[in-house]
Amino acid sequence: MSEAPPAYHEVPYEDHAAQLEQMKAMMEQMRLEKEHMRLEKERLETEAKRKAEEEAVAQLCAEKEVALHAEQEELRELAKKCLRQQDEAFKLVYKPFVLCDDAKSFRASIAQSENMIFYAGGYKGKDDGAWSVGQFNYIITNKNVYQVKYHPTGPVPYVIYTFNAELKKTQILFLNREIATGVMGSNGQLEKASFLMSLSSGACMRSDEYMMLKKFESIIRLIPGSYKNGDWKQLDGFVGMYFNETTMELSEVPPPSL
């Protein structure tokens, strides 16, 4: 005769509820762990992306820095070349021709902060028969155009035009071609050297000097820029007076920079 089946014992309701809560807790724990892993993965991916972007930016900045340094060095060398060409052009007009020591020193002082590119000077004869630049009347750098005034304490360069941005290579070459030495051979160099040596900064100008200075100004103004000196304004460009509407002052010479 077979054995009787085990007696039925009902599991208390509390045990079922406890097991269900335990299962829910385990599932919630698994969900939280999974969510944590997902967030950690996203964090690592974001961090890796950020580092990659930072490295790319740093690399780009380094490359730009190298390129900028190379460009600045190229422009410095170009400015030196322009001055050498201009000196050589003057030698075609005045033989022999030299820069006097004071002019060399003044040119070097300008070059400490800006690339000096061109100059117009007053020349004079020397006892040994040579010609020399005794003073600078106008100076063009990669940033400004200066008119130089001479005082008992020495030369003072007054800014009469400021370029909106430092001159680019194409602009320097343009000025070199149109104002200084050019590439037209000795005749062109002779004409332009004479032109630059004739630009006067004196209070009294001949009509031909006036016209040459206006031509000089017209060429300069082809490169964007303006006169910048507080409330002072030029009434007639490089050769005119200066007016300060705020203080109602007039000046026949460039006023000191503010």
User: For residue range 206-229, what is the model confidence (pLDDT) as tens digits?
Assistant: 777 778 888 889 999 999 999 999
Burial zone of 22 (CB within 10 Å; 0-12 exposed, 13-18 middle, 19+ buried): exposed
Q: What pLDDT score was predicted for residue 153?
A: 81
Q: Answer yes or no: are the C-beta atoms of 199 and 213 closer than 8 Å.
A: yes
Q: What pLDDT score was predicted for residue 185?
A: 44
Q: Answer yes or no: are the C-beta atoms of 167 and 142 closer than 8 Å.
A: yes
Neighbours of 79 (CB within 10 A): 22
Of the listed ranges 30-39, 112-121, 197-206, the one predicted with least confidence = 197-206
Query: Sorting pLDDT into bands at 50, 70 and 90, what band is 2?
Result: low
Query: Per residue in 36-62, pLDDT tens?
Result: 898 989 999 999 999 999 999 999 988
Q: What pLDDT score was predicted for residue 186?
A: 46
Residue of 162, 161, 196 lying closest to 83 (CA atoms): 196
Q: What pLDDT score was predicted for residue 33?
A: 87
CA separation, residue 21 to residues 29, 30, 31 (Å): 12, 14, 15
Quote the distance between the C-alpha of residue 55 and its chain's center: 26
Pairwise pLDDT comparison (6 vs 16), residue with the higher score: 16
Query: Per residue in 143-154, pLDDT tens?
Result: 999 988 888 887
Q: Answer yes or no: are the C-beta atoms of 105 and 154 closer than 8 Å.
A: no
Q: What pLDDT score was predicted for residue 184?
A: 42
